[in-house]
Amino acid sequence: MLVLTREAYPGILRFTMRANLDGKVAIVTGAGRYRGIGRHVALTLARHGADVVITGSGRSPDKFPDEEKEMGWRDIESVADEIRALGRRALPVAASSADANDCQMLVEATKRELGRIDILVNNAAAGRGNDRVPFVQLEESEWRRVLETNLTGTFLVTKAAGKVMIDQGEGGAIINISSILGRQGVAMQGAYSVSKAGMILFTQVLAMEMAPQKIRVNCVCPGLVDTDRMKDVTRPGPIHDAVMGTIPLRRPGDPEEIGELVAFLAGPDASYIHGQTINIDGGRVMS
């Protein structure tokens, strides 16, 4: 049953959806960053009752942001500890979503340790790098890096996990994390935008194919979210002010808000939502 509770949030009133995910096992890719969407998705699913497998790329600690270094953050191991503290089972797995062997290992580890797969959240994404340049200056290696992580990685994880979900014969939910930049072309964001647009169409095709197996497939398109990767935009300054001017609600999203939407889409109260792409962006893209 869906229960709506009103709770305080800076400047607004927020409704929190209480999805019943008891007994479900979820995989969330790209969930090792402290200030990241993936971690908050994983924690939210756990709060709603799911056991959670979290993946990360196995980042070297010397590449952690200063905040993570100072707090002694341990990537997916720390997220696993947080999930266990909520009373749920957790399995951290270092794996690259763009590597087919890693994806198969991930699925086998999930089945061995937690017994099944009910929910897949494709959140892993390429970090911002030298891809943010005009197309005519974009190196092929950067184009391939972004598409292999964002699009090919989504395909490979879904292929491996989807086979298990079909064989179980009990339905399930797949949620792909795209972006509003997959909805709207923006200069110097070419590789990222194309990869995220591909995820939207991938969602639609997969939804058509998975419907007979009662596996629902949907896509979430966040706008600006207050994560470490976007700290140059979310922190006070001229860039922040310029970007806020494009968002009707005049604030960045909180990663936990993305988590709540994903939990709702994974739960029974979203049982008739299928093949949809949902923006969560403060009104920046209204379509």
pLDDT tens digits for range 244-279:
889 999 898 999 999 999 999 999 999 999 999 999
DSSP characters for the chain? ---EEEEEETTEEEEEE----TT-EEEESS---TTSHHHHHHHHHHHTT-EEEEEE----GGGS-HHHHHTT--THHHHHHHHHHTT--EEEEE--TT-HHHHHHHHHHHHHHHS---EEEE---PPS-TT-S-GGG--HHHHHHHHIIIIIHHHHHHHHHHHHHHHHTS-EEEEEE--GGGTS--TT-HHHHHHHHHHHHHHHHHHHHHGGGTEEEEEEEE-SB--GGGHHHHSSSHHHHHHHTT-TT-SPBPHHHHHHHHHHHHSGGGTT--S-EEEESTTSS--
pLDDT tens digits for range 69-123:
999 999 999 999 999 999 999 999 999 999 999 999 999 999 999 999 999 999 9
Report whether CATH 3.40.50.720 matches the domain 4-279. yes
* Whole-number pLDDT of residue 227: 85
Q: Indicate the domain borders of the chain.
A: 4-279
* Whole-number pLDDT of residue 18: 58
Active site residues: 192
pLDDT tens digits for range 15-72:
455 579 999 999 999 999 999 999 999 999 999 999 999 999 888 888 888 899 999 9
